[in-house]
């Protein structure tokens, strides 16, 4: 039996202005120009240049709407669920650098000079002069490559994609024919389906001593598992190698190959560069913080559109066309004001958060010594600036600061803390430095086990468990002792 009743509930909603601010907050300086150009193209009421008159007097505060009036579109008045925009998928809990495996592996938004790897591959695909069907297969394969240059999609899935998107019905065997062509492109090893294939593709094209090259191909092709496990004695027996130096030459050849060819695909070998969002300088022994000037563009509301709205408002015409024109002009003016206010709010928030980080890690910014870094999590900065943790996360994401000691990602300054033997809080970054130094200085014939590393760290005043040693070692991308053994 159905019943009709009333139910009262509370839900939190974000205004369109807040949504715009949140999205802008995440944009790094390197991408801000593109975002502003997009807004200038879409909104004729927004112009570049200094505001000749104070057109923002009537603009409401970014986070308030006390008078209750909202002449925006109906879909904006309905609001948007806060969960959609404050979802903390980019952070693992409330910490950084060590609080969950996913955070440190997040790829930074780095701008590079030259063409992209995808551009290079498409250019090489054009040189093949393929028929239309095979060209479309090649485009689909290149578009399916992951950032490290590997093709991990099944060939049957690529064939299905082409059937649905291009109405092109081909077999996995036809996809593989084009794939083999692309695998001959530069950089060597591109479009491999696994590490073994990637290494073989490079060895087949690598100039070098024929004997060592042939032996390296045999090792990767027939004894790949023994090689990855570093069972060198077993390799020597199975390959019937009398001279141990021959095996060493082949192994050295393999280990100098590139396991991630996609990350070396910058045109002309151009080195990636980062555009800093903040600049910290020392003046008279004191630190000064400035925001990159590209974060403060000169924008204004169009006076022409403001006059147009005023003229229509004073007009006696009450036709439907006139009302629609007034609504359109007002929406564009409001949107322009919101965007300018959101940019200003972005500047203020970036500076407040970075100033708090600067104060918290003041000793590091003075000396540039990583040992001077204090344990710091998102909540520490959130408490200092009285903001939500998700806001701090968005500021830290893909943002950089230029110092006298180099350019650093803001995430670099966040780390967990442990207590040393003296009861002092030290950053896990300092512990990782000591751990890396111990491994760098170890005897590679007898690498240190995690248990031994635990003992050595304890001797140096860092009493941490073996599982923590393993966690830090993995975060440093250092393999287990067995795989660190060298010939």
Q: What is the pLDDT of residue 135?
A: 92
pLDDT digits (tens, 9 = 90+) for 391-437: 898 888 888 999 988 889 898 898 776 766 666 667 777 788 889 88
Over residues 260-275, mean pLDDT: 59
**Could you tell me the residue ranges of all domains in the chain?**
12-111+273-369+380-402, 417-484
DSSP at 415: B
Hey, what are 181's tokens?
Answer: 């062509």
Nearest to 420 by CA among 433, 434, 431: 431
Q: Which residue do the tokens 């955070």 mark?
A: 103
Higher pLDDT, 54 or 432: 432
- Find the range with the poorest average confidence among 26-35, 131-140, 469-478: 26-35
Nearest Cα residue to 333 out of 310, 302, 298: 302
Euclidean distance between CA atoms 42 and 420, whole angstroms = 56
**DSSP codes, 266-316:** -GGGPPPB---SEEEEEETTEEEEEE-GGGS--EEE-HHHHHHHHHHHH--
Section 208-235 average pLDDT: 83
- Output the CA torsion 44→47→51→55 (10° steps): 20
Over its C-alpha atoms, the chain yields an Rg (Å, rounded) of 29
What would the two tokens of residue 3 be?
A: 């019943």
Task: Determine the pLDDT at residue 51.
Answer: 60
Neighbours of 124 (CB within 10 A): 17
pLDDT score of 36: 87
Residue 425 DSSP symbol:
E
* Beta-strand pair 286-291/406-409: unpaired
CA distances to 111, 120, 275, 397 from 108, in Å: 9, 21, 12, 8
Q: Which two tokens stand for residue 466?
A: 């073996």
For the residues 25-38, what does the mean pLDDT come to? 82
Average pLDDT, integer, range 33-50: 84
Instruction: Say how far apart CA 434 and CA 428 lie, in whole Å.
Output: 10
Residue 95's pLDDT is what? 38
CB 349 within 8 A of CB 390: no
Identify the DSSP state of 208. S
Helix axes 244-255, 210-222, angle to 10 degrees: 70
pLDDT at 487 over 80: no
**Does residue 186 come out as left (phi exceeding 0), alpha (psi in the -120 to 50 range) or beta?**
beta
Q: Name residue 13's beta-bridge partners.
A: 81
Chain mean pLDDT for the chain? 77
Is the separation of the CB atoms in 60 and 16 below 8 Å? no
Q: How confident is the model at residue 305 (pLDDT cuts 50, 70, 90)?
A: confident
Q: Which CATH superfamily is domain 417-484 in?
A: Homeodomain-like (1.10.10.60)
Tell me what the mean pLDDT of segment 234-254 comes to: 82
């Amino acid at each position: 039996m159905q019943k009709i009743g009333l139910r009262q509930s509370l839900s939190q909603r974000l205004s369109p202005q807040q949504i715009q601010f949140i999205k802008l907050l995440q944009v790094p300086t390197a991408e801000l120009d593109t975002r502003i150009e997009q807004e200038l193209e879409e909104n004729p009421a927004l112009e570049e240049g200094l505001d000749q008159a104070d057109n923002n007097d009537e603009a409401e505060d970014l986070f308030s709407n006390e008078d209750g009036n909202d002449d925006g579109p109906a879909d904006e008045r309905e609001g948007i669920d806060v969960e959609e925009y404050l979802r903390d998928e980019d952070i693992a809990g409330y910490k950084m650098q060590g609080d969950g495996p996913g955070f440190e592996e997040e790829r930074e938004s780095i701008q590079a000079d030259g063409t992209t790897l995808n551009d290079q591959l498409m250019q090489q695909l054009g040189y093949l002069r393929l028929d239309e069907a095979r060209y479309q297969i090649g485009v689909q394969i290149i578009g399916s490559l992951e950032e490290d240059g590997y093709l991990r999609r099944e060939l049957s899935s690529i064939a299905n994609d082409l059937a649905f998107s291009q109405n092109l019905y081909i077999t996995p065997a036809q996809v593989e024919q084009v794939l083999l062509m692309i695998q001959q492109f530069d950089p060597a090893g591109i479009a491999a389906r696994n590490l073994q294939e990637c290494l073989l593709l490079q060895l087949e094209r690598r100039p070098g001593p024929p004997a060592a090259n042939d032996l390296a191909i045999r090792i990767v092709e027939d004894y790949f598992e023994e090689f990855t496990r570093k069972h060198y004695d077993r390799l020597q027996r199975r390959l019937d190698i009398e001279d141990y130096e021959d095996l060493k030459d082949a192994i050295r050849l393999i280990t100098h190959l590139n396991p991630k060819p996609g990350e070396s695909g910058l045109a002309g070998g151009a080195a990636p560069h980062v555009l800093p969002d903040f600049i910290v300088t020392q003046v008279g022994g004191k630190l000064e913080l400035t925001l990159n000037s590209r974060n403060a563009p000169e924008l204004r509301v169009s006076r022409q559109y403001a006059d147009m709205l005023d003229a229509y408002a004073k007009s006696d015409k009450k036709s439907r066309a006139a009302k629609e024109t007034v609504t359109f002009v007002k929406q564009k003016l409001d949107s322009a004001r919101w965007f300018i206010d959101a940019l200003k709010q972005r500047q203020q928030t970036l500076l407040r958060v970075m100033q708090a980080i600067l104060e918290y890690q003041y000793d590091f910014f003075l000396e540039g010594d990583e040992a001077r870094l204090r344990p710091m999590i998102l909540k520490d900065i959130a408490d200092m600036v009285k903001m939500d943790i998700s806001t701090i996360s968005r500021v830290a994401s893909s943002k950089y600061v230029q110092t006298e000691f180099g350019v650093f990602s803001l995430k670099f300054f966040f780390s967990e803390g442990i207590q040393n033997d003296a009861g002092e809080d030290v950053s896990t970054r300092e512990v990782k430095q000591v751990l890396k130094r111990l491994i760098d200085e170890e005897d590679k014939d007898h690498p240190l086990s995690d248990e031994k590393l635990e003992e050595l760290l304890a001797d140096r005043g860092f009493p941490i468990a073996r599982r923590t040693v393993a966690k830090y070692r993995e975060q440093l991308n250092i393999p287990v002792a067995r795989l660190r053994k060298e010939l």
